[in-house]
């Protein structure tokens, strides 16, 4: 069932786009959270603009009974806080009912990055003697070399990639641009892919997207995820793989080989170092290993 289009919610989403530049995916998550809460209120003859602290607490208790995760509930409460702050600012209501509602405690899960051996097996899985296989191999190489978000990868255009400089210029969350090094291996596969496969996939159709689908259009994120699953099966990898786990692998393997958190933050396009600190355990483990290996009392 599609999320209901509440006028107040749509005004709030327009505000997020105009003033904060949030992506379509982020605003869609806000819409889902707020619409589900509005539907729950409506069943109890309440409205979004009139709901008070007690209604929010009742809803959180209901979510607990329905076995919603603490993480999803925290995301909902974050959506509600932003929404009610907006309503107060717009003078739709006098006070924010979320001010005295605490966030549920959640622990950040450690990223389950594939090992370097698994990555090597995955990269070797596509049949590079076919245009489709060569495209997939190149996409995997670029993803692992750069740590791009999947939306950034499938949306890459020719002008964003400089083989001469060995750089990818991408625009991430909040319309923030960053430059990411390609590395020699990814550059090699890109050159080969341009030379041997891209024209065949396009079939003479004009397009500026680097990795077109068989229809010569931009590939969807879901299609690429499906391709990864296929290649993981060929590589004999039974653990769950996705574009996001490959992004985790990029960050984790950089740290394992001596990169610092600030560098990884810049490469991933995180606006705040606290987001990158989910990888602190990786950096600590490497420091402990180095200490044990090199310190006279390690």
Query: In the annotation, is 291 catalytic?
Result: no
260-296 as b/e: b if 16+ CB within 10 A: ebeebbebbbbeeeeebeebeebbeeeeeeeeeeeee
* Lookup: tokens for 134: 């060569």
Measuring CA to CA, how many Å separate 26 from each of 60, 185, 211, 219, 226?
A: 22, 33, 24, 20, 22
The single residue of 85, 173, 221, 286 carrying the catalytic annotation is 173
149 an active-site residue?
A: yes
279 is catalytic: yes
**Nearest to 41, CA basis, from 209, 49, 200, 3:** 49
Under DSSP, the state recorded for 174 is: G
Q: Is 30 a catalytic residue?
A: no
Phi, psi of 222 (to 5 degrees): -65, -40
Catalytic residue among 5, 89, 205, 244: 244
**CA 66 to chain centroid:** 27
Q: Which of 227, 247, 248, 253 is catalytic?
A: 247
Catalytic residues: 149, 173, 244, 247, 270, 279
């Amino acid at each position: 069932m599609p999320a209901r289009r509440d006028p107040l919610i749509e005004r709030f989403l327009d505000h997020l786009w105009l003033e904060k530049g949030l992506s379509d995916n982020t605003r869609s998550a806000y819409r889902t959270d707020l619409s589900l809460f509005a539907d729950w209120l409506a069943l109890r003859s309440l409205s979004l603009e009139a709901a008070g602290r007690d209604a929010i607490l009742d809803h959180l208790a209901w979510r607990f009974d329905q076995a919603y995760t603490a993480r999803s509930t925290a995301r909902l409460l974050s959506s509600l806080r932003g929404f009610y702050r907006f309503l107060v600012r717009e003078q739709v209501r006098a006070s924010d009912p979320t001010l005295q509602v605490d966030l549920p405690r959640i622990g950040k899960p450690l990223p389950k990055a594939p090992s370097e051996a698994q990555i090597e097996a995955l990269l070797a899985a596509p049949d590079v003697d076919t245009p489709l296989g060569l495209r997939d191999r190149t996409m995997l190489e670029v993803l692992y070399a750069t740590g791009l978000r999947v939306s950034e990868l499938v949306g890459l255009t020719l002008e964003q990639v400089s083989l001469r400089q060995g750089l990818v210029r991408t625009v991430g969350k909040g319309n923030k641009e960053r430059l990411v090094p390609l590395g020699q291996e990814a550059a090699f596969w890109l050159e080969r892919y341009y030379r041997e496969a891209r024209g065949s996939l396009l079939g003479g159709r004009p397009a500026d997207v680097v990795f077109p689908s068989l229809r010569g259009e931009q590939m969807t994120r879901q299609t690429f995820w499906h391709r990864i699953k296929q290649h993981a099966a060929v590589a004999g990898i039974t653990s769950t793989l996705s574009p996001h786990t490959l992004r985790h692998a990029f960050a984790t393997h950089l740290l394992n080989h001596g990169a610092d958190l600030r560098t990884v933050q810049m490469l991933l396009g995180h606006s705040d170092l606290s987001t990158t600190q989910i990888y602190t355990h990786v950096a600590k483990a490497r420091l402990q290993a180095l200490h044990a290996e090199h310190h006279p009392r390690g």
